[in-house]
Structure 1
Amino acid sequence: MPSPNASPTLYLLHALGASSGSFQRIGDALTGHVDVQGIDLPGFGSAAAVSDTSLEATVEHVVRVLSARARGRWMLGGHSMGGKIAALVAARVLDGTAPLTGLAGMVLLAPSPPRPEPMDEERRAAMLSWVDDGAISEQDAETFIAQNTARPLDPGAHSVALTDLRRTSPTAWRAWLETGSRVDARADVGRLDLPVLVLAGEDDTDLGAAAQPGLLADVYPRARFHPLADTGHMIPFERAPEAAAAIAAFVADEVLAGPVVPDAWARLIAGDRVDARTRGILNRRAMPDDRGYAPRALDLAQLTLLREIADLVVPQDGPAIDIAARVDAQLARGEGDGWRPEGLPPDPEAYRRGLNTLAAVWPTDPIERETVLRAAIDGDGPAEGELDADLLAAWLEDARVDLVRQWLAHPASMARTGFDGFATGGREPLRGYVHLELGRREDWEPADVGGTIATGDAA
């Protein structure tokens, strides 16, 4: 299994007229924290000669590159035009249609939104005129750089930006301005519930810090918006050190939370034995938990107590899954196992009453907590409270099942317990098992199938 502290990889998609080389400075500043790899999009950089530069072809190109490269825990990001493409790719990862797993967050730099990009039509027409006679001229490239920066770039950054603009395919330049930027992809992207950092310059006109929350808040509910002062649109060239610092903090706070799915199991999930719907479910379950999660069915005190109960029921070594928060989200969605012990109210209310009853006698000492929980499980709970001792014991049976189910549902837990029963779909209607014998592994199963489950006495 990869080390939970291993540097994740950030795959970045560049802006219009740029290339993967535009991220070199950010990558250098993140050495030892994040491995930054840029991807040249069709019509730009090393892929300038690619003929199909449509939005769909570009998305498929990125999926192919990621399928060949992405391993372990990784992130996806994009600058300007690349932000819209990144959103479309991430949507395919989270719904399982892309043969990928391991996505743990996004980093967006002044991104074009899934909706049509806000752009002054006169400026669009002027930029289109730059390729009427072929490649962008040096004079027009200089104009573009000046329009998109808050102050002149240093010579090295300026040289890279100028070279990238001049070698851009006129077809790709025109395709984005005429079609790609105007496409409304909100229905395809939907709502992406994953950690997201959005960097934007305060001096950027259309896609700056003031505009981004309104453009993206409904797409990325977990977005963290980070403004950059005295910065225009060309963030990788204007503010590489500041961008790198913000990315490093974001990764430490949001992306490294939770366990990593072992490589062999990740390959199985991404492979052709797993159908798209199942892969999407597993990819969403593997997403790092929201460190700032706000309870929806419980109040904060109740969620805190449920987390302490979870630590006793399902003790976890290494980066932990916030299974209590996942149970709260389950309650808020009205989901459950369809079973309610006689005498208990519906699940959300039963949780609130059960937690309030335990809160009255809950000690601060961890060892004493285990004693109190064991007594309540055995029917020797508090004599007074919102649930009597018998109903409290009945509720705790349900609660323990919910907590264990949320832990087992995570792909890393499936790997740990050796469960690969999800790998029976894919391109064929059913791809089951040939050998149903104790201790015998199918050829397609991970070599380390099976393992040890961490459980507590209170479970």
Structure 2
Amino acid sequence: MGSSADEFSRLRDLLDGTVDVRGVDLPGFGELASASDSSLDATVEHVVHHLARHARGRWMLGGHSMGGKVAALVASRVLRGDAPLTGLAGMVLMAPSPPRPEPMDEERRERMLSWVADGSLSDQDAETFIDQNTAEPLAPAAHERALTDLRRTSPAAWRAWLETGSRVDASAEVGTLDLPVLVLAGTDDADLGAAAQPELLASVYPRARFVALGDTGHMIPLERAAEAAGAIADFVADEVLLGPVVPDDWAALIAGDRVDARVRGILNRRAVPDDRGYAPVVLDLAQLTLLREIADLVVPQDGPAIDIAARVDTQLARGEGDGWRNAELPPDPDAYRAGLDTLARVWPTDPTKRADVLRAAIEGTTDADGPLDAARLQLWLEDVRNDLVRQWLAHPASMALIGYDGFATGGNPIRGYVELRLGRREDWEPVGVGGTVAEGDAA
């Protein structure tokens, strides 16, 4: 509130070459101070439309202060598939307002509302706002930038946030957003500081990394740009740049009007980077490690890999599967634990010998002695291979790799294929699908 895209200019310079930072003016602020509608709903729509024009490849969504609530609402739409977007890989939030009503001292709220009772903020009130929201004096250039933004802020937008936007409870709409999130907060921020953020956001962002910035108030991009940039760079390297990226033409297809919102949401959630610190639910850590080594043999992956073993553990925890199991085997969670414990007894530490051991178990000739005998171990490994391949195929980057675009047959009105035959590629299909056959050539 009271800022603009310009507040991120120092971060943009510091992260150049690591992260491409692009600030977005919100209705009523910065270059959009004259916008007629600065409600929370209009602001979310504005950001979605901006991203639809500019967000490509793998991207993150950032939000500072009131932008935190806006970012949460936008991210929830992306992960549900309700926005024409794909590629969201994480979020960076700075002293964010939570999806639920923002904690704010009512006396301070009324005082801030009084500043725009007769029009725009005065220089004196703008100086007071800066002083109340910083731990130490800003550098001259940052101070002037903050003053400029506050002076041109729309009084209507200022009131809209204090009277309505900050009080909106969007918890039900946002729900739980399971993706990498960095939350930066100052130790000297009164309401949205480092001490308050875990309680406000932990249930919304289960994968959140909370970073406290000492001697910092609420205006983090202006107060602690260097420290924020360092935390962002570390976060991106550790948690965002994991797994494969969906090619641009496939991303455009997923975001387009041929894909139903529900299907787009499923694909967007599948494309979220895996949790590097994933804690297994059904398996223990040793069992998950062994399943990862089996996965490397069953589904070798070139380049950034999908953690398909962790995804199988999540599948088991949710009680999901392909709808059947062999009658000779116990329920899937028990079968996985028993099968992995059996295989662990003969599993070699030498990676070069593992393929032979796995092949023997698949063929039913293993001499492993454990919870499953050789015959049932062989049956279980059929399910394992099926689950691992299914989890790999489910990722939209894998679909692009094999040229599968059958998910793009929805929309309103529903659309499908005009003609299905070998070598026939329709105009809407990405170039990587099928091939081109000249007229008169044999298919």
TM-score tier (shorter): over 0.9
Match of 1:441 in 2: 425
Q: Does 1:228 align with 2:219?
A: no
1:166 match: 151
Q: How does 1:191-202 map to 2 (within 5 A)?
A: 191-202=176-187
Match of 2:376? 391
Amino acid at match of 1:97: D
CA, structure 1 residues 400+450, in 2 after alignment: closer, same or farther (shift >3 Å)?
farther
Unaligned runs of 5+ in 2: 436-443
Q: CA deviation at 1:342?
A: 2.4
Tell me how far 1:119 sits from its aligned partner. Answer: 0.3
1 CA distance for matches of 2:357 and 2:327?
A: 24
* Cα deviations by residue, 1:211-238 (Å, 9 ceiling, x for unpaired): 0000000000000000000000000011
Deviations 1:44-68 (A, max 9, x none): 0011111001100000000000000
Equivalent AA in structure 2 for residue 134 of structure 1: G
Aligned pairs (5 A) from 1:417-436: 417-428=402-413, 430-436=414-420
SS of the residue corresponding to residue 34 of structure 1 reads coil
Query: 2:86 aligned with 1:101, yes or no?
Result: yes
1:181 maps onto 2:166 in alignment:
yes
* Whole-angstrom CA distance in 1 between matches of 2:23 and 2:412: 31
Give runs of aligned pairs for residues 98-247 of structure 1, distance below 5 A: 98-247=83-232
SS in 2 for 1:198: strand
DSSP-derived class of the 1:269 partner: helix
How do 1:27-426 and structure 2 match up within 5 A? 27-426=12-411
Query: 1:450 Cα shift?
Result: 5.0
Task: Give the structure 2 partner of residue 457 of structure 1.
Answer: none
AA at the equivalent of 1:149: T
Retained in 2: the 8 A contact 1:305–1:359?
yes
Q: What TM-score comes out, normalization by structure 1 length?
A: 0.94
Flag as ranges the 4+ runs of structure 1 deviating above 6 A.
none
Q: Is the 8 A contact 1:22 1:160 kept in 2?
A: yes
Measured on the aligned residues, the alpha-carbon RMSD in Å equals 0.8
1:201–1:227 CA contact under 8 A, matched in 2: yes
In structure 2, what is the Cα distance between the partners aligned to 1:151 and 1:384? 67
Partner of 1:157: helix, strand, or coil?
helix
CA–CA distance in structure 2, aligned partners of residues 41 and 384 of structure 1: 64
Quote the offset at 1:247 in angstroms: 0.1
Q: Any stretches of 5+ residues in structure 1 without a counterpart?
A: 1-15, 452-459
The answer to whether the 8 A contact 2:188-2:215 is kept is: yes
Distance 1:212 1:336 in 2: 37
Map Cα deviations across residues 92-140 of structure 1 (whole Å, 9 max, x no partner). 0000000000000000000000000000000000000000110000000
Q: Distance in 1 between matches of 2:85 and 2:366?
A: 47
The Cα of 1:382 is off from its aligned counterpart by 2.5
- Contact 2:11 2:229 (C-alpha < 8 Å) held by counterparts: yes
Separation (CA, whole Å) in 2 of partners of 1:384 and 1:149? 66
Q: Distance in 2 between matches of 1:381 and 1:71?
A: 49
Deviation at 1:426, TM superposition (A): 1.3
Distance 1:383 1:330 in 2: 27
CA deviation after TM superposition for structure 1 residue 383, in Å: 4.5
TM-score, with normalisation over the residues of structure 2?
Answer: 0.98
Distance 1:397 1:147 in 2: 64
Decide whether the 8 Å contact of 2:423 with 2:434 is kept in 1: no
Distance in 2 (CA, whole Å) between partners of 1:383 and 1:233 is 60
Q: Equivalents in 2 of 1:116, 1:101: separation in Å?
A: 28
Instruction: Please tell me the residue identity of whatever aligns with 2:426.
Output: E
Tell me how far 1:297 sits from its aligned partner.
Answer: 0.6
Q: 2-side partners of 1:209 and 1:427: how far apart?
A: 46
Return the alpha-carbon distance in structure 2 between the equivalents of residues 450 and 417 of structure 1.
Answer: 10
Q: How far apart are 1:449 and its partner, in Å?
A: 1.2
- Residues in 1 aligned to 2:434 and 2:113: alpha-carbon distance in whole angstroms: 59
Aligned partners of 2:66, 2:17: CA distance in 1, in Å?
A: 28
Structure 2 counterpart of 1:446, one-letter code: P
When structure 1 is superposed on structure 2, of 105-114 and 382-391 the one drifting more is: 382-391
The answer on whether the counterparts of 2:424 and 2:434 sit within 8 Å (CA) in structure 1 is no
The one-letter code matched in structure 2 to 1:419 is Y
Deviations 1:271-330 (A, max 9, x none): 000010000000000000000000001000000000000000000000000000000000
Q: Is the 8 A contact 1:417 1:450 kept in 2?
A: no
Give the secondary-structure state (helix, strand or coil) at the position aligned to 1:354. helix
